[in-house]
Amino acid sequence: MPNKRDNILVNIDWTTIIVYLILVFLGWINIYSAVYDENHSSIFDFSQRYGKQLVWIGAALILIFIVLIVDSKFYSAFAFPFYGIGILLLILVLFLGIEVNTSKSWFEIGSFRMQPVEFTKITICLALAQYLSSLSFSWQKTKSIIVLILLIALPILLIFIQNDTGSALVFFAFVFVLFREGLNRVLFITSFALIALFILALVTNLEILVITILVAGVIGFALTNGRNLQTQIIFYSFLLYASVSLVLLNYTDIFLDKEIVLILINVGVIAIQMLIIYFVKRNKTLLLFGLLIIGVSTFVFSVDYLFYNALQPHQQNRINEVLGKNTDPLGIGYNVNQSKIAIGSGGFTGKGFLQGTQTKYNFVPEQSTDFIFCTIGEEWGFIGTTTVLFLFMFLIVRIIVLSERQRSKFSRIYGYGVASILFFHVAVNISMTIGLAPVIGIPLPFFSYGGSSLWAFTILLFIFVKLDADRLQIFR
């Protein structure tokens, strides 16, 4: 009789599997509803997307079986070779791939298309777990940090080159994994502060924003550094610079772009003054605030350049639409506008299965892929969307709980990677369908039509299910 420790059917987390099967089933019937054709009413019609999705689901079940019978140590042992294969595929698709929606990120074999970036999420998750759990890694070693950054940055760069910005952004979700594994709290908070600054720089006047930052910096320094002579010099000097700048701004014409020039002068003078006093008095707080003012101001003024040079015009338009800077419901904002109409028209209980007019008459583009959530909202209403959100949140929380009970550090890190990727996809996909995030073209896990997405998320999840099932055997 097999040892209970070795019996995967006993140790496997059936709760996770049941939630997965429910989500996949709901995804399938919503794809059927999204592209329903009265001339092909059978849900098993393999000439239609819902029939093809059933084939992908069948193949996914086979993949689950393969993942679960493979020794769990295989995934950690071959994590880096898998990572190398993922990087190779990202390079090959640049030369051998086809372009779909301006992104050259797909392989096409006959009628089948495969997007390697979906599977790269698995390989990076494995490699990250293997590296962070290795004895050679330490947050105190500069070499470890550099290798860690390269590990994540290389695929992001290759995906950006493919012009698939949405997929590249997914990998920033790994910041949650790094935070769990010891990333400095200040760096974690700083990363979100920079995102907030980027958004503020796009929606507010740059000069006002930098003045606010400068004032906050000086006041912050004054509050944290007491009432000593150095603090008073900095504080009253700032008042003097601000007064002189106000006079120059209103009563002279010595600069072509007075606002920006004067702001830069103020930033420079305050920062330099802090640095000078630091070198004289060796006050580290002064050095910190001086560098902070220079760094933040430089970042804010570089936002325009990054926005207009690093992003494609259609991406700029989508972000401006979300931020309210552009309003074009019949142009760039058409998809989101129709999606919001569809979701809003569902009301509390929805219009009923196959009764969605926005869906039925194809008002919403990509309604079986990126905008599948609007089908749920229109036909199943608030109750349906809440149920789907609950299932996703339950699954993500369940993965985190299971991650914390792992005896293997590799398994715990990998579990957090799975949870982070799923959370990012769910949060961003649903946010973009209701107009809270720009449309960046990432699928809703287990719902959006497509074999690559379904298979990748299935493998990603069930590798963790396998690791969890074998947790009693592993001592690392």
pLDDT digit string, tens, across residues 49-73: 888 999 999 999 999 999 999 988 9
Three-state secondary-structure class, residue 265 = helix
At 94, the amino acid letter reads L
How many Cβ atoms are within 10 Å of 386's Cβ, its own excluded? 11
Residues 409 and 427 in one domain: yes
Which of 266, 293, 311 delimits the end of a domain?
A: 311
| Residue-level pLDDT at 230 | 58
Residues 326 and 303 in one domain: no
| Residue-level pLDDT at 20 | 96
Q: Order of strands across the sheet with 112-114? A: 98-100, 103-109, 112-114
Q: How far apart are CA 35 and CA 49, in angstroms?
A: 7
Which of 265, 280, 311 delimits the end of a domain?
A: 311
Query: Cβ distance 313 to 165 under 8 Å?
Result: no
Residues 292 and 353 in one domain: no
For CA atoms 56, 59, 65, 68, give the dihedral sign.
Answer: negative
- The list of the chain residues with pLDDT below 50 reads 1-2, 255-256, 475-476
Among residues 354, 424, 430, 375, the alpha carbon closest in space to that of 396 is found at 424
| Residue-level pLDDT at 45 | 83
CA distances, 71 to each of 7, 74, 335 (Å): 12, 6, 45
| Residue-level pLDDT at 475 | 47
Total of domains in the chain? 2
Residues 193 and 226 in one domain: no
Q: For 428-467, b where at least 16 C-beta lie within 10 A, e where not — what string? A: bbbebbbbebbbbbbbbbbbbbbbbbbbbbbbbbbbbbbb
Q: What is the pLDDT of residues 134-147, one digit of tens each?
A: 988 888 888 888 89
- The residue to which tokens 């959370």 are assigned: 423
Which of 311, 336, 358 delimits the end of a domain?
A: 311
CA distances, 409 to each of 157, 247, 394, 406, 445 (Å): 28, 61, 23, 7, 26
Pairing of strands 103-109, 98-100: antiparallel
Burial-class residue 156 by CB neighbours within 10 Å (0-12, 13-18, 19+): middle
Q: How far apart are CA 203 and CA 197, in angstroms?
A: 10
Q: How far apart are CA 415 and CA 409, in angstroms?
A: 10
Q: How far apart are CA 215 and CA 268, in angstroms?
A: 14
Residues 463 and 337 in one domain: yes
Residues 186 and 210 in one domain: no
| Residue-level pLDDT at 441 | 77
Q: Which domain holds residue 265?
A: 204-311
Residues 275 and 334 in one domain: no
Residues 361 and 238 in one domain: no
Residues 447 and 339 in one domain: yes
Q: How is the chain split among helix, strand and coil, in percent rounded to 5?
A: 75, 5, 25
**Angle (nearest 5°) at CA 193 between 189 and 195:** 120
How many Cβ atoms are within 10 Å of 331's Cβ, its own excluded? 11
Residues 379 and 255 in one domain: no
